[in-house]
Structure 1
Amino acid sequence: MENDLVAAALSAARERGQDVAEVPLTAIATAAGISRSTLLRRLGGTRAALDEAVRQAGVDPGGRPPVRERAITAAARLIADQGLGAITLDAVADAAQCSLPSLHVVFEGRDGLLAAVFDRFGPVPDLEALAADPPSDVEDTVRAIYRAMVAAFGQEPRVLPAVFADLFGRPGGPASRMMQATLPRMVTSLRALLIAQVAAGRLRPLPFPLLVQLLLGPIAAHMLLRPTLDAALGPELPPVDETCEIFAEAFLRAAAMP
């Protein structure tokens, strides 16, 4: 594809405030100083080649979900299928059908992309929503936190189990950086939910990190092991909802004030 046609498409898109895919061929032809029929002839009768040339130039022509959405979805599937260690920007660009420069622009590198994936498929958004409108009752608070954790672990593609697998195997690897990028937000939400209950005299004033570990440790370990436990134990294993209730009761017996 000739550079002058790519430049004309980008110029027409900027002038009209549209994505390249939304700009009529007539407007692109005018920007290139040629007729529409000449433009079509040079494009081989279809604009698909022009859109691809614009994409190869590092600009998303539009007409599809944004690069950010496609890349997060593609990376999540790759992580679930191949593990975190297999993720490269080249592999994500190929799976998302976008250019490598566009990933660098949108995410500022691999760690930025992985942090965005963890933010989308981890528990942070649900915990933030819960903290914005918290239950007043300590029992309901604990159950709501468990529901958020179960939803994150069970979400497809199964990103969170793959993140933990990498974290356990490589404590200083990319999973650690992913979690560190979003951990402040998660801590802020949990602090808002739990410290309010401590201040109200409903939870014991335990050190906050230990209170969180006491709350989340059992359900996280269970959800990581559940596929294996389900295959090995079958009907002996309670359903997830019942399991959450059992863990909630155990936490409240340990941490709730009389």
Structure 2
Amino acid sequence: MSKDEFHPPAPAPPDLVQAALRAARTRNAAVADVSMQAIAKEAGISRSTLLRRLGGSRQALDEAVRAAGVDPGGRKPVRERAIEAGAALISSDGLAALSLERIAAAADCSVHSLYAAFDGRDGVLQAIFERYSPIVDAEAVLAAHPTDLKATVREIYAHMAAALTREPRVMPALFAELLARPQDTSLQPLMHYAFPRLLSGIGTWLASEIQAGRIRDMPLLLLIQQLSSPLIMHLLLRPATEHAADAPVPPVAEVCNTFADAFVRAVAVPHP
């Protein structure tokens, strides 16, 4: 074998991998951010012995840590990469594309690491929904206990518009799946997660508005649909209608204001 021939680093011993993981957990840091001295101390050996057992560098250690399903650092954590990769898959190929194998390939991680981060496909889907839906922003608006009905609706609409028009187009893809295949078992776990969340946030706020006498008393489901459906339908159809030359489309902010005014006029209790 010539002296110029490449020799791949030998795999890191399992005890050193575990020492690196323990040191990272103790410091609440990525493995890549933990010094070799700290890893050597955790392993009960000297730094020079650690380097000798790793073949002179930490490359083998980082690769062994990654093979164990933990991202050593130096790039986004597995969870972040998986959420972004899964969102892109849903946007481009639909919900059927969201398999753990395809997410792992796109996120450059292992399926094992996805189970460690999300506990399965449903966990990935919930995390994507949290990131790309307007539900978290709407909950933040309502957590401030607003009293101006029209201003609150407009603010919620602004977050809805941002979620339905942003790239990747996760929410339009999920709505398309829901409308086309409402009984699809792959979508049911998300519905069982999202709908109670919607009721506890938007539903609780609307119920309090009814109790305060500011809006008409009507079934919460219908009230939520009356609140959300006009704007959702407009935003889903907007990319197509924007190309219709004889039907100019108003700016999104104007659309939000118009639908907010319409909702308040429809449900508000008139004051003497």
Shorter-chain TM-score range: 0.7 to 0.9
Are 1:202 and 2:214 counterparts?
Answer: yes
Partners of 1:178 and 1:166 in 2: CA distance? 12
Spell out the pairing of 1:43-58 with structure 2 (5 A cutoff). 47-58=58-69
Query: What is the aligned counterpart of 1:238 among 250, 266, 270?
Result: 250
> Could you report, residue by residue, the CA deviation over 1:30-69 in whole angstroms, capped at 9, with x for unpaired residues?
74967356346x3xx6534431232112222233332212
What count of residue pairs does the alignment treat as equivalent? 255
Structure 2 length normalisation: TM-score?
A: 0.83
Query: What is the aligned counterpart of 1:10 among 15, 18, 36?
Result: 18
Partners of 1:111 and 1:153 in 2: CA distance? 21
- Any stretches of 5+ residues in structure 1 without a counterpart? none
% same residue: 46
The Cα of 1:239 is off from its aligned counterpart by 0.7
Could you tell me which residue of structure 2 aligns to residue 72 of structure 1? 83
Structure 1 length normalisation: TM-score?
A: 0.87
Are 1:251 and 2:263 counterparts?
Answer: yes
Could you tell me which residue of structure 1 aligns to residue 5 of structure 2? none
Residue pair 2:11, 2:60 contacting (<8 A) in 1 also: no
> Could you report, residue by residue, the CA deviation over 1:151-190 in whole angstroms, capped at 9, with x for unpaired residues?
2212322110111111112212333422321221221111
Residue pair 1:77, 1:157 contacting (<8 A) in 2 also: yes
Residue pair 1:118, 1:179 contacting (<8 A) in 2 also: no
Q: Which range moved further: 73-82 or 219-228?
A: 73-82
> Could you report, residue by residue, the CA deviation over 1:185-204 in whole angstroms, capped at 9, with x for unpaired residues?
22111123222222222211
Could you tell me which residue of structure 2 aligns to residue 35 of structure 1? 49
> Could you report, residue by residue, the CA deviation over 1:75-124 in whole angstroms, capped at 9, with x for unpaired residues?
11221122111111111112222221111122111111101110111111
Could you tell me which residue of structure 2 aligns to residue 119 of structure 1? 130
Indicate how the Cα distance of structure 1 residues 35 and 184 shifts in structure 2: closer, same or farther if over 3 A, else same: same
Partners of 1:28 and 1:142 in 2: CA distance? 53
The Cα of 1:136 is off from its aligned counterpart by 0.7
Residue pair 1:164, 1:175 contacting (<8 A) in 2 also: no
Residue pair 2:23, 2:39 contacting (<8 A) in 1 also: no
Could you tell me which residue of structure 1 aligns to residue 100 of structure 2? 89
Q: Which range moved further: 77-86 or 193-202?
A: 193-202
Partners of 2:39 and 2:63 in 1: CA distance? 15
Could you tell me which residue of structure 2 aligns to residue 135 of structure 1? 146
Normalized per residue, the structure richer in helix is: 1
The Cα of 1:23 is off from its aligned counterpart by 3.3
Residue pair 1:167, 1:176 contacting (<8 A) in 2 also: no
> What is the RMSD of the two structures over their aligned residues, measured on CA atoms?
2.4
Partners of 2:121 and 2:114 in 1: CA distance? 8
Residue pair 2:71, 2:78 contacting (<8 A) in 1 also: yes
- Any stretches of 5+ residues in structure 2 without a counterpart? 1-8
> Could you report, residue by residue, the CA deviation over 1:189-242 in whole angstroms, capped at 9, with x for unpaired residues?
112322222222221111111111111111111111111111224771111111
Could you tell me which residue of structure 2 aligns to residue 103 of structure 1? 114
Residue pair 2:85, 2:103 contacting (<8 A) in 1 also: yes
Indicate how the Cα distance of structure 1 residues 91 and 48 shifts in structure 2: closer, same or farther if over 3 A, else same: farther
Residue pair 1:72, 1:117 contacting (<8 A) in 2 also: yes
